[in-house]
Amino acid sequence: MNAALPYDSDRLAQCARDIIVNVRELSARGWTPATSSNFSQRIDAHHVAITVSGRDKGKLTESDIMVVDVDGRPVATELKSSAETLLHTQLYKRFPDIGCVLHTHSHNQTVASRLYAGMGHVHLEGYELLKAFSGNTTHDTEIDVPVFANTQDMHTLAAQVDALLDRQPLWGYLIDGHGLYAWGRDMAEARRHLEAFEFLLGCELDLRRLRS
List residues near ligand L4RZE5RM by CB under 6 A: 34-38, 51, 53-54, 82-84, 103, 178
- Shortest gap between Cβ of 127 and ligand L4RZE5RM (angstroms)? 27
- Based on CB atoms, which residue is closest to ligand L4RZE5RM, 20 or 130? 20
User: Annotated binding residue at 178?
Assistant: no
- Shortest gap between Cβ of 126 and ligand L4RZE5RM (angstroms)? 31
- Shortest gap between Cβ of 78 and ligand L4RZE5RM (angstroms)? 16
- Based on CB atoms, which residue is closest to ligand L4RZE5RM, 56 or 140? 56
Please compute Rg for the chain using Cα positions.
Answer: 17
- Based on CB atoms, which residue is closest to ligand L4RZE5RM, 84 or 204? 84
At 38, which amino acid appears? N
User: Annotated binding residue at 103?
Assistant: yes
Rounded CA gap, 109 and 193, in Å?
13
Whole-number Cα distances in Å, 142 to 65, 122, 169: 36, 10, 13
- Say whether 181 sits in a helix, a strand or coil: strand
Rounded CA gap, 154 and 35, in Å?
19
- Based on CB atoms, which residue is closest to ligand L4RZE5RM, 124 or 190? 190
Local structure of residue 155 (DSSP, 8 states): H
- Asked if residues 47 and 67 have their Cβ atoms less than 8 Å apart, the reply is yes
- Shortest gap between Cβ of 125 and ligand L4RZE5RM (angstroms)? 29
Rounded CA gap, 169 and 171, in Å?
7
Residues at the binding site for Zn(2+) are: 103, 105
